[in-house]
């Protein structure tokens, strides 16, 4: 006999469950859904609920609950209307459904029937909730006990695996988390979902290019998108809910580096294995290309990590393991502090400027 938050081996499933490819009954994860497909896309909602296919949600129908009772509990009959949800329930302000959280299925259990999905990122979006980003543009909103509150698949593509994945990994990043937003760029579209209001805040289809995620500026909530071998770079402004485009003089972008200078944000964009261009974020949140191209041949395109306002680079020079701390002055020249390690026995610190750094 199948239960509310587990799978069974029987082929005859109960209400709200589906029969998966392994002939097991798996619960539909969309609250209030009585019929869904194997990708957790709801096809039919329970009584007194209506299906919002665009957001993959079941929502309380209007005029079902009366007398200031705005929310409803399962089994969704009128006598289950309440003024506010009990403490053990999540009060979904969009669907008006009280979602049970005590016995919610956990992330590992959710992905168990779908071995082609992998967790890629976990971010805390507020005091009590975490947002999980997985492959296939799948997002899970979780509470402090890592119980699932909501599952959102922002782009339900049956051929997602063949189009974008190789041996279980996305060849290029197709989804992102910025602030409380989750986004998907698959299928020549951009869909952005706000996991605080539980609403789709941006949805644009039929884009000219199938965009990939290039860089995410969490501080300013900007997501840079791009496609190889074109001269346009796109960025999504999560604060203003719009997609912008900038034509570049180059069509090959390797790496983004973000620099915060007092009230200015600059992006150093590596355009080939030697040269970089600089863009500056304006007060109106547009981007300006600075008339300056710099030679940063001393920065590797691979083994470099950004840490706040400086870079950490790990490499090897003449057989010596070397760790470098790289900073930028007001003219975007490099200030490099190197620590060379020889047989782990000693280290020495050398300071270089951009002009004096040995070739």
Query: What's the average pLDDT block by block, 10 residues per block, for the chain (359 residues)?
Result: 38 79 80 87 92 89 88 92 83 85 52 63 89 91 84 83 82 92 93 90 89 89 79 87 83 70 77 76 87 63 60 65 72 67 40 34
Alpha-helical runs (H) found in 27-179: 107-111, 160-164
What is each CA distance from 352 to 46, 270, 328, 349, in whole angstroms?
68, 21, 12, 10
Say how far apart CA 182 and CA 192 lie, in whole Å: 6
- Nearest-5° Cα angle at 333, 332 to 335: 120
Q: Which pLDDT score, from 0 to 100, does residue 221 have?
A: 93
The candidate with the shortest Cα–Cα distance to 350, out of 339, 342, 358, is 339
Say how far apart CA 162 and CA 39 lie, in whole Å: 16
What is each CA distance from 117 to 131, 139, 234, 266, 286, in whole angstroms?
16, 11, 27, 35, 36
pTM of the model: 0.60
Phi and psi of 54, rounded to 5°? -65, -35
Q: For 327, left (φ over 0), alpha (ψ -120 to 50), or beta?
A: beta
User: Token digits for 235?
Assistant: 């960025």
Say how far apart CA 21 and CA 44 lie, in whole Å: 20
**DSSP result, 193-233:** EETTTTEEEEEE-S-SS--EEEEEETTTTEEEEE-TT-SEE
Residue partners of 190: CB distance under 8 A and separation at least 6: 183, 184, 202, 203, 204, 207, 211, 225, 236, 243
Contact 252, 229 (CB under 8 A): yes
Q: Where are the domains of the chain?
A: 17-100
| Sheet with 148-153, edge to edge strand ranges | 119-126, 129-134, 138-143, 148-153
Say how far apart CA 25 and CA 2 lie, in whole Å: 7
pLDDT digits (tens, 9 = 90+) for 3-34: 334 344 445 788 888 877 777 788 888 889 99
Q: Which pLDDT score, from 0 to 100, does residue 4 have?
A: 36
Q: Which pLDDT score, from 0 to 100, does residue 72 have?
A: 94
pLDDT digits (tens, 9 = 90+) for 268-306: 777 766 677 888 888 899 888 887 766 665 555 446 666
pLDDT digits (tens, 9 = 90+) for 40-66: 889 999 999 999 988 888 999 999 998
Q: Which pLDDT score, from 0 to 100, does residue 308 have?
A: 62
Contact 30, 36 (CB under 8 A): yes
Residue partners of 87: CB distance under 8 A and separation at least 6: none
Neighbours of 88 (CB within 10 A): 10
């Amino acid at each position: 006999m199948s239960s509310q938050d587990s799978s069974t081996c029987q082929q005859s499933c109960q209400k709200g469950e589906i029969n998966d490819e392994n002939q097991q009954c798996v619960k539909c994860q969309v609250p209030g859904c009585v019929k869904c497909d194997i990708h957790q896309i709801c096809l039919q909602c329970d009584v007194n609920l209506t299906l919002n296919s665009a957001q993959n949600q079941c929502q309380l129908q209007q005029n079902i609950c009366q007398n200031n009772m705005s929310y409803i509990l399962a089994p969704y009959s009128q006598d289950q209307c309440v003024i506010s949800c009990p403490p053990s329930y999540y009060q979904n302000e969009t669907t008006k459904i009280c979602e049970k959280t005590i016995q919610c299925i956990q992330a590992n259990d959710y992905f168990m029937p779908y071995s082609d999905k992998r967790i890629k990122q976990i971010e805390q979006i507020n005091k009590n909730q975490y947002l999980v980003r997985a492959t296939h543009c799948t997002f899970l909103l979780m509470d402090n006990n890592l119980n699932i509150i909501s599952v959102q698949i922002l782009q339900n593509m049956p051929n997602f695996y063949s189009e974008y994945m190789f041996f279980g990994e996305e060849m290029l990043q197709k989804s992102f988390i910025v602030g409380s937003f989750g986004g998907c760029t698959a299928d020549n579209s951009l869909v952005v979902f706000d996991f605080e209001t539980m609403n789709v805040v941006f949805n644009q289809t039929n884009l000219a290019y199938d965009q990939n995620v290039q860089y995410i500026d969490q501080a300013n909530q900007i997501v840079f998108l791009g496609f190889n071998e074109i001269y346009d770079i796109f960025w999504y402004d999560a604060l203003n809910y719009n997609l912008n485009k900038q034509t570049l003089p180059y069509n090959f972008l390797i790496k983004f580096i973000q620099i915060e200078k007092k009230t200015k944000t600059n992006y150093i964009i590596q355009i080939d294995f030697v040269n970089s261009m600089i863009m500056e974020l304006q007060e109106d949140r547009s981007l300006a290309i600075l008339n300056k191209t710099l030679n940063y041949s001393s920065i590797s395109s691979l083994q470099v990590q950004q840490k706040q306002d400086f870079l950490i680079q790990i490499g090897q020079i003449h057989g010596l393991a070397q760790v470098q701390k790289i900073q930028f002055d007001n003219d975007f020249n490099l200030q490099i502090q190197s620590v060379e390690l020889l047989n782990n026995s000693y280290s020495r610190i050398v300071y270089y400027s951009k002009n004096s750094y040995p070739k």
